[in-house]
Every structure is written in structure tokens, then in C-alpha cells.
Amino acid sequence: MDSVKKKRRKAAVNQNDCVACGCCAKVCPLSAIQVVKGVAAQVDGSKCVGCGKCARECPASVIEIREVET
């Protein structure tokens, strides 16, 4: 087992620049990212595994994969 603190990756959306196109939501294998009220995408941190698929699809490049300590 790993004794060091685990770092997990999570997607984070810059909501100011999101154009709500929904491309990210379509490719997320876990449905962890959704466009809320047609305004901006939001990530459900409890579902996201940080795979980065959404970030690669985003035409506006507003999704960042961040490392968070758990």
C-alpha cells in the first residue's frame, strides 16, 4: 500500500469563460460534468476521476485538471 498522501486529479471549469456547449458532458465516462441551466459546466467532484477527457474536448479550453490532496 501507498504510505504517501494520495493526490487525486479533478477537473475544474473556469465558469466565466465556459460557453456551455456541452461537449465536455458528452464525453465524460462518469457523467461527472454537466451544463447547469445552460449557463456553464459544473464538475461533480465526488464523481470526477480526473481522466482529462473533458479538458481535451473543450473547444474553449476552459477545463483544467488539478491535483488535490485527499
> 50: alpha, beta or left, given left = phi > 0 and alpha = psi -120 to 50?
left
Q: Which residues pair with 8 in a beta bridge?
A: 68
21: which 3 cell numbers? 456547449
Q: Which of 3, 6, 12, 21 binds ligand SF4 (CB under 6 A)?
A: 21
CB of 5 or CB of 52, closer to ligand SF4: 52
Residue 61 contacts by C-beta under 8 Å, 6 or more apart in sequence?
55
Answer yes or no whether residue 12 interacts with ligand SF4 by CB under 6 A.
no
Least distance CB 8 / ligand SF4 (angstroms) = 11
Answer yes or no whether residue 19 interacts with ligand SF4 by CB under 6 A.
yes
Answer yes or no whether residue 49 interacts with ligand SF4 by CB under 6 A.
yes
